[in-house]
Amino acid sequence: MHIQRFLDAIRCNILFAKSVILVEGDAEEILIPIMVKKTLGVSLDELGISLINVRSTGFENLALLFHNQRIKKRCAIITDLDRSITGKVTKAHKLGLSRKEKLRGLKKRSKWIGSFFAEHTFEIEFIKAGNVDAILSTIKDVYVDNATIKISEEDIKSDDIKKYGKRILTMAENKGKGWYAILLSKYITPSICIPKYILDAIVFAKTKFSNELIVQMLEYVLDTYNEDEEIDNLKNELKSYNEGRTSFDDIKKTLKKVLNKNEPILYILNQL
């Protein structure tokens, strides 16, 4: 009955999307669409991807629907392994590893399923991806005491995962993960680095990025850069491509020289 009620609530998302991404929590549901739109200039809807918050780690029953004899659509599952920042083997991490094995078993039985894992939690992986400045911007939204603000800034800037990991988890729990995600969403900019496991899930779910879509995203990304000769040249190459005078392969050769190496668009191109 539980799965039936859940399916009644999400039927439209499953039936009308070209593919699906399942997530386990509010933070991912709130921030992934915003990160994609801000960094790539397209929405998940425009990519044909529906993001569904399962609100638990019980993905198996829903994932079973994506199969040759059932729903022939790609289903990417994003979940946390909950590895402890102290290095200790915890109950949460054991459950995360068990979940990983179950999901890999499902993937072996169905080509429509893919599973993608955060080593720790979304919040920690977000910092590890290189988004320290965005987290720093949220500290004064979480704390009011100047001494606590100063200590928190030092913790987040630290290279020690025990320090920045504990601090970001404390901040998220202080506000509630969903509310903290809403706070953080105010500081998501085109320069944000999307964690690689999330980009992998998007590439799996999308299955095919047309050259036209890639060019559309590139035009958006280039508009977020400060104008200089290299950016102008790449924009001209894109214009030439649109007019049929340049091949897409020629454009790809220029990208790595011009764009920031952490650009999501570059990572996506390298996975295709």
Residue type at 175 in one-letter notation: K
- Write phi, then psi, for 201 (nearest 5 degrees): -65, -40
The answer to whether residues 67 and 197 belong to one domain is yes
The answer to whether residues 199 and 88 belong to one domain is yes
Domains of the chain: total = 3
Write down the pTM of the prediction.
Answer: 0.92
The answer to whether residues 139 and 118 belong to one domain is no
CA distance linking residue 134 with residue 157, whole number of Å: 11
Element (H, E) at 102: helix 91-109
Which range of residues forms the domain containing residue 262? Answer: 211-271
pLDDT per residue over 104-144, tens digit each?
Answer: 898 888 999 999 999 999 999 999 999 999 999 999 999 99
- Write phi, then psi, for 58 (nearest 5 degrees): -90, 70
The answer to whether residues 81 and 9 belong to one domain is yes
* 186 pLDDT tier (thresholds 50, 70, 90): very high
Cα distances (angstroms) measured from residue 136 to each of 164, 170, 171, 243: 11, 14, 11, 44
The answer to whether residues 231 and 173 belong to one domain is no
Q: In this structure, what token pair is assigned to residue 141?
A: 């939204």
Q: Could you tell me if residue 182 is left (phi over 0), alpha (psi between -120 and 50 degrees) or otherwise beta? A: alpha
Q: In this structure, what token pair is assigned to residue 267?
A: 């990572």
The answer to whether residues 77 and 198 belong to one domain is yes
The answer to whether residues 81 and 196 belong to one domain is yes
Residue 258: CB atoms within 10 Å: 16
pLDDT per residue over 191-209, tens digit each?
Answer: 999 999 999 999 999 988 9
The answer to whether residues 84 and 140 belong to one domain is no
Torsion on CA atoms 58, 125, 40, 111, rounded to nearest 10: -40
pLDDT of residue 59: 81
The answer to whether residues 87 and 34 belong to one domain is yes
The answer to whether residues 224 and 94 belong to one domain is no
CATH number at residue 114: 3.40.50
HEC letters along 157-190: HCCCHHHHHHHHHHHHHHHCHHHHHHHHHCCCCC
Sheet holding 113-118, edge to edge: 49-53, 19-23, 74-80, 113-118
